[in-house]
Amino acid sequence: MYDQILHPTDGSEGAAAVADHVGVLAERFDATVHVLAVADTRNRFESPSSGLAPEVWEEREKDRAEAAVDDTVETLPDSTDTERVVESGVPHEAILTYAEEAGMDVIVMGTHGRTGLDHYLIGSVAERVVRRSSVPVLTVRIGEE
């Protein structure tokens, strides 16, 4: 049923809880997990770049994405077949494009559960993915602890 699992990650605190769910699904279905992190390429007026020069922002984002993929793969069970993927672009768009082009069966991702002003200003990548995905999406709430 789920031969190819896409696991987008941003490397944030609590991401290991999502990887636990991914690991269980991968073992249950003998699936390959595609661990994806997106280096956000939006300019400083469209993303939370803290006023950094565009080239500095892009390099930091690429390094962050690579570290997020490496850290996530480390938390998955050793027996899990994995593909490491770093894409550049707008996070929800890159996730949806990869899922479609690579033929994913399910997307498993975390959600921070932002509300109010944070949700309005930062938005929710998970919400955008859920609304637009052509494949099932399992979201796991990432707690504050």
Question: Can you give the pLDDT at residue 41?
Answer: 82
Give the pLDDT confidence of 98-130 residue by residue, as tens digits.
Answer: 999 999 999 999 887 555 444 444 458 888 999
Residue pair 98/126 in contact by the 8 Å Cβ criterion:
no
Q: Residue 133 sits in a domain of what CATH number?
A: 3.40.50.620
Distances (CA, A) of 17 to 23, 30, 87, 142: 10, 20, 23, 7
Comparing CA positions, the residue from 27, 22, 9 lying closest to residue 86 is: 9
Q: Give the confidence band of 55 by pLDDT, cuts at 50, 70, 90.
A: confident
**pTM of the complete model:** 0.86
Domain residues for the domain of 96 are: 4-141
Amino acid at 63: D
Report CA Rg, the chain: 15
Lowest-pLDDT choice from 6-10, 53-57, 136-140: 53-57
What are 76's two structure tokens?
Answer: 């998955």
Q: What is the mean pLDDT of residues 77-95?
A: 95
In total, how many domains does the chain have?
Answer: 1
pLDDT at residue 52 in the model: 63
Which tops the pLDDT comparison, 97 or 17?
97
